[in-house]
Structure formats: C-alpha cells, structure tokens
Amino acid sequence: MRDVVGEATQRRTFAVISHPDAGKSTMTEALALHASAIQQAGAVHGKAGRRGVTSDWMAIERARGISITSAALRFDYRGHVFNLVDTPGHADFSEDTYRVLAAVDCAVMLIDAAKGMEPQTMKLFEVCRHRRIPVITFVNKWDRPGRDALELLDEIEERTGLRPTPITWPIGIPGEFRGVIDRLSGRAIRYERTPGGATRALETELTAEQAQAELGAAWQQASEEAALLSAIGADHDQKAFEAHESTPVLFGAALPNFGVARLLDALAELAPPPAPRPDEDGAVRALDAPFSGLVFKVQANMDRAHRDRIAFVRVCSGRFERGMVLTHAATGRPFATKYAQSVFGQDRTTLDEAYPGDVVGLVNATALRPGDTLYERSPVTFPTIPSFAPEHFAVARVRDSGKSKQFRRGIDQLDAEGVIQVLRSDRRGDQAPVLAAVGPMQFEVVQHRMLAEFGAEISLDRLDYTLARRTDAASAPALDRERGCEVLTRSHDGALLAVFTDRWRMRSVKADQPGLTLEPLIADTTEELR
Ligand code: GDP
C-alpha cells in the first residue's frame, strides 16, 4: 500500500477561473496538451465548432458557446499529479463554481490583458478570499494589444487587496510579445510561435547578452521594470501567497501557448498540496486517516447512452479503492463504489485508486448531493457548501397533466443535483413548486432537461421576487401576511425562506416588526458578491 501522505504531497488540485472570454477553455486545453494528457486540442469542452462532449442536454451549451458542466482532468507533470477541476464559464452558474472551489487547493485566475479586472473577476477573487484559496494570476492574451503591465498590477492590487508578485515579467508590450523574464530564476525566455499549430510554443532560454542582442529595447525595458519590482519588494512570498495576502502573477498567451509551461511549473512549485481538512466542528481529519471525501458536484446523464448520475467527490483523506463500501454521512447509509470513474468531458476511465486531492466520479449516485460527506470507518462530516441566495424565481408547472409523475421526479432530481433550488408551500401545492435561481439561465437548463430527460414539458411563470432571507416557523405567519412577501420551504433541507419583491419591502417589514427572523442566506460570503 502506498504512503497516503507522500501521494497527497504530489497532488496539485486546482481550478482555472475567469470572467467569460478571458481564455479559460483555451487555457484548460493548453495545460492539458502541454502535459500531454489529451492528444488534440478541442477535446475538452463542448463548445461550438469544437470536438467535444456530445450528450443531449449540452446542446444548450453548444448553442451558447458556454460550458455549464464540471468535471476533472487528471494528468501527470514532472513527478506531480495534477487535478484540474473544470468550472462553468457563465456567471449564472456561479453557484456551481463556488461548489467547485470547495474542492480545490488553489485557483488560477485568468485576466484578459486588454480588459483587466472585469465584474466576474472581482466576484471570483472575492469568493477565493472567503474560502481562503490561494490564487495564481495569469495575465492572458499578451500576444494582442492590451494594457500596460505595471498598470494592470496596480489595478489588481487596488481592486482585490492582494499584493501582486510577478514571477514572470513580459518582454515586449501586449501585441509584441517576445518572451518573459523568469523573476525567480533570473532567466530570459524567448517565445516563438510554432508553425502550423497551437500545440506547443518554441521556448528558448537566453543569456542576458543574447537577450540584449536579440530583443534589444524590449529586453532593456523589461529588465528595468523587473529591477523596479524587486526594489519595491514585489517578490514572491510563499507564506503570504498561502495566507491569501499576495498573488503570484504570470504573463502569457494561452492560444499560442506562451507561458503555459511556466504556469504548470508555478503550480508544481507554489500551489499548496492537499492539507488536512477541518470537519464541521473544526477538528481536522489527518490526510492519512481512513478515507473521507466531499461531494462537490452531482451531474446526471452526461452521456445519453448511460442515463446515469455521477457524483464528483474530492478525496480529503485516506486512500480510495474502487469497490470499497463507504458511509454517506447525511443518511448513515452504505454507499458502494464499484463504479468509480475518472471523468472528463466524454472520456471516462475506470479509476481503481485515488489519494487526497484526487477527484473521483461515482456513478449511480442517486442519494448524493453537493456538500455531502462520504467516509470509511471513522465518521466525519465536512461543513456543507452554503447555497447562494437566489435572485430569480419562477413557478413551474407541467403542461400535460398526464406527465405529473415525470414532472415530480424530474424536479426532485434537478433539486438534488443542485441545478436549481426548489421551494414549496401548502398554498401553491406540489404541482406548482417555485424554482429559485442565482441566474436566469438556470431556468433554461431546467426547462430543457425536464423535456429531454423526463419527457415533461414545463411552463415557467416568473415571479417578481428578487431576494430571499432565512426565517423561522415563529416569524412565518406574520411574514406571509405582508404584501410583496411570501414564505416558502426549501425542499432539500426544509429551511424556511422569506422571499421579497425588493430590498425596500424587506427593510420596511423589518422596521415595522423588528422581532421577526430575517437572516442573509449565505454564511461565509458577502451579499455584495452578486
Ligand atoms: P472562456 O470563455 O474564458 O473559456 O474563453 P475562451 O477560451 O473560449 O477564449 C475566448 C476567445 O479568446 C477565443 O476566441 C480564444 O481563441 C481567444 N483567446 C484565448 N486565449 C487567447 C490568447 O492568449 N491570445 C489570443 N489572441 N486569443 C486568445
């Protein structure tokens, strides 16, 4: 049996996050290609025009050119095992991203060199801060005209409060990208496009003299700026990085593969390996304790032919062995793991063993929900992943009443997967549940999947509520009598939610009846997040 702590130390489990269009999919492919995990760029996402995932309901994604689904890609790189956990690109699925971030030890934030900090960049930095996830920043698209490097650093610092510590510095302005200075080693690296393809860039290490001779003024300016950075103390500090006080910054371009290898090296050198995880009482579960894992994503029917449901589990402690019988902490029931897989996009391979940091896809995971804990032998429950506060609400009804059984089954399943939150009340009845979403595109996914997978066409009537607060049984009757307010029960955990048409309504109810319970929904994140 292999040494669990030793295996864990080799793991690097991370996510690539960014504002849409900053290059997340391109970078994911480039990283995978570089590490030779997949043969051909384009196998990763089901994007328009690309080879990719073909399951039915992903038609929505393809049409929109976005990626909603999450999976994990595992590859070896320089003696390390990398687990790249995929995140959805669109802000409407930020709750999924939030759940994925519960499963990683580090995040790579992509910033578009021309656009700098964008709205979703800010939110994601904020989420990382709340989850205390160290962030490596990659300024992407340096091969195209963009902003000044020092100016971008200022903006990162100002908007995130993190101290940027460049570990590479670009030679050449955006659009005239020649290479980088590796500030940790002092080397200069020249980048050249490889003819005919985006598989790998040509990287040549240059001495200072060669750089001076070949890159001239661009080299001169870059080395002066790099010296300036050292003078102001913008140097990498591992402790500050891990404490989420600073962020190492790299410059590159994912499309021509400039700086992708350096990013992999930075992950190997700097990203923290899996650490013992605190349980819901704050006690840590040692890495070499018996197996424990956190479900961070549940997804059904990725492949139409299979018609199954996969729970993605991040291994937190111990060794996972396919076939072992685990306990589902929420119900105390046994869970068989005969069908453990490593899943990425369309590709599935059977997974026989896994260590802390790895992601296991468990097939036939009907009972599992995001946030659930699985363990072997000694019981543990990890803190659940808090739900985002919904801001969009709609009543769902089945169009053909002959399909009400399929309707109920479908709604229950999508609820369990965390695709949408389902709220019910006696007043509305079971035939008319209220669906609550963070972003309206979640409704489209529900509508599409209900028809495609359950054969139940649904109608959705939007309600004009925009915010939700947690309340209790004692406050519910008084709230239900208020105009512009309604109390509903969240199906998956029985929580009572008071939903309001707007902030002013909520505030006036609060002012009139200060004794009522009205609490923000998400505990460890801020309201300003969305
Ligand atoms: P995502 O929405 O963040 O996943 O972004 P994509 O990876 O789909 O990239 C958005 C667009 O930017 C695509 O047209 C990419 O080809 C392009 N792109 C991504 N990275 C680079 C880069 O480094 N340089 C250039 N010139 N284009 C890039």
Residue 279, SS3 per DSSP: coil
> What tens digit of pLDDT does each residue of 92-110 get?
677 788 888 999 999 999 9
498 pLDDT exceeds 70?
A: yes
Q: What is the pLDDT of residue 299?
A: 79
Taking phi first (over 0 means left), then psi (-120 to 50 degrees means alpha), and beta for anything else, what does residue 39 get?
Answer: alpha
CA-nearest residue, atom 2 of ligand 1:
21
> What tens digit of pLDDT does each residue of 124-167 get?
898 898 888 999 999 999 999 999 999 999 999 999 999 999 99
DSSP 273: P
Give the C-alpha separation, 442 to 523, whole Å: 22
In the block, which residue shows the tokens 């019988």? 325
Give the range among 251-265, 330-344, 388-402 with minimum mean pLDDT. 330-344
Q: What percentage of residues in the chain have a pLDDT greater than 90? A: 59
Ligand 1 atom closest to residue 19's alpha carbon, by position in its atom list: 3
Q: What is the pLDDT of residue 510?
A: 93
64 pLDDT exceeds 60?
A: no
Residues with CB under 6 A from ligand 1: 18, 20-26, 89, 140-141, 143-144, 253-255
Residue 375, SS3 per DSSP: strand
339 pLDDT exceeds 80?
A: no
Ligand 1 atom closest to residue 110's alpha carbon, by position in its atom list: 3
Bridge pairing between strands 485-490 and 421-424: antiparallel
Q: What is the pLDDT of residue 262?
A: 93
* φ and ψ at residue 291, rounded to 5 degrees: -50, 135
Distance between Cα 199 and ligand 1 center (Å): 15
> What tens digit of pLDDT does each residue of 26-62 get?
898 888 777 754 444 334 443 433 333 333 334 444 4
**Angle, in degrees to the nearest 10, between helices 119-131 and 94-101:** 30
Give how far the C-alpha of residue 174 lies from the chain's centroid of Cα atoms, to the nearest Å.
Answer: 28
Choose which residue among 16, 17, 21 to substitute to test ligand 1 binding: the one with the highest number of ligand atoms within 8 A of its C-beta: 21
Give the C-alpha separation, 331 to 316, whole Å: 19
Choose which residue among 115, 250, 255 to substitute to test ligand 1 binding: the one with the highest number of ligand atoms within 8 A of its C-beta: 255
pLDDT class for 336, splitting at 50, 70, 90?
confident
Q: What is the mean pLDDT of residues 418-425?
A: 92
Distance between Cα 21 and ligand 1 center (Å): 6
Q: What is the pLDDT of residue 71?
A: 66
CA-nearest residue, atom 24 of ligand 1:
141
403 pLDDT exceeds 60?
A: yes
Give the C-alpha separation, 437 to 465, whole Å: 11
Ligand 1 atom closest to residue 67's alpha carbon, by position in its atom list: 4
Give the pTM.
0.84
pLDDT class for 527, splitting at 50, 70, 90?
very low
Give the range among 190-199, 356-365, 399-408 with minimum mean pLDDT. 190-199
Give the range among 48-62, 199-213, 251-265, 312-326 with minimum mean pLDDT. 48-62
pLDDT top residue among 195 and 207: 207
pLDDT class for 65, splitting at 50, 70, 90?
very low
In the block, which residue shows the tokens 């996972």? 320
Ligand 1 atom closest to residue 47's alpha carbon, by position in its atom list: 8
Distance between Cα 72 and ligand 1 center (Å): 20
Distance between Cα 29 and ligand 1 center (Å): 11
In the block, which residue shows the tokens 């119900």? 331
Please state, in angstroms and as integers, the Cα–Cα distance from residue 381 to each residue in 228, 313, 419, following that order: 49, 14, 23
Give the C-alpha separation, 75 to 182, whole Å: 25
Length of the chain in residues, anyone? 530
Ligand 1 atom closest to residue 258's alpha carbon, by position in its atom list: 23
Distance between Cα 114 and ligand 1 center (Å): 12
CA-nearest residue, atom 10 of ligand 1:
21
Choose which residue among 26, 28, 70, 260 to substitute to test ligand 1 binding: the one with the highest number of ligand atoms within 8 A of its C-beta: 26
359 pLDDT exceeds 60?
A: yes
Distance between Cα 22 and ligand 1 center (Å): 6
Q: What is the pLDDT of residue 60?
A: 44
* φ and ψ at residue 293, rounded to 5 degrees: -155, 155
Distance between Cα 524 and ligand 1 center (Å): 32
Picking from 295, 500, 520, 522, the residue whose alpha carbon sits closest to that of residue 418 is 295
Distance between Cα 410 and ligand 1 center (Å): 36
| Tally: H helices and E strands in the chain | 13, 30
> What tens digit of pLDDT does each residue of 279-329 get?
999 999 999 999 999 999 887 765 555 567 788 899 999 999 888 999 999
Distance between Cα 116 and ligand 1 center (Å): 14
CA-nearest residue, atom 25 of ligand 1:
141
Give the C-alpha separation, 110 to 139, whole Å: 6
Ligand 1 atom closest to residue 253's alpha carbon, by position in its atom list: 23
Give the C-alpha separation, 79 to 76, whole Å: 7
Burial class (CB in 10 A: 0-12, 13-18, 19+), 114: middle
Q: What is the mean pLDDT of residues 223-232?
A: 94
Distance between Cα 89 and ligand 1 center (Å): 12
Ligand 1 atom closest to residue 66's alpha carbon, by position in its atom list: 2
Give the range among 183-187, 336-340, 400-404, 462-466 with minimum mean pLDDT. 336-340
H or E element, residue 451: helix 441-454
Residue type, 55: S
Q: Are 380 and 373 in contact (CB under 8 A)?
A: yes
DSSP 237: -
Q: Are 258 and 191 in contact (CB under 8 A)?
A: yes
Picking from 382, 406, 388, 404, the residue whose alpha carbon sits closest to that of residue 490 is 388
Q: Helix, strand, coil % (nearest 5) of the chain?
A: 30, 30, 40
H or E element, residue 461: strand 458-463
In the block, which residue shows the tokens 């991040």? 314
Ligand 1 atom closest to residue 22's alpha carbon, by position in its atom list: 3
Strand ranges inside 199-303, DSSP E = 202-206, 246-251, 277-278, 284-285, 292-300
Distance between Cα 215 and ligand 1 center (Å): 26
Ligand 1 atom closest to residue 45's alpha carbon, by position in its atom list: 4
Give the range among 91-100, 112-121, 238-247, 359-368 with minimum mean pLDDT. 91-100
Q: What is the pLDDT of residue 123?
A: 84
pLDDT class for 170, splitting at 50, 70, 90?
very high
Picking from 294, 302, 280, 345, the residue whose alpha carbon sits closest to that of residue 86 is 345
**323-355 b/e (C-beta count within 10 Å ≥ 16 → b):** ebebbbbbeeeebebebbbbbbbbebeebebbb
Ligand 1 atom closest to residue 20's alpha carbon, by position in its atom list: 2
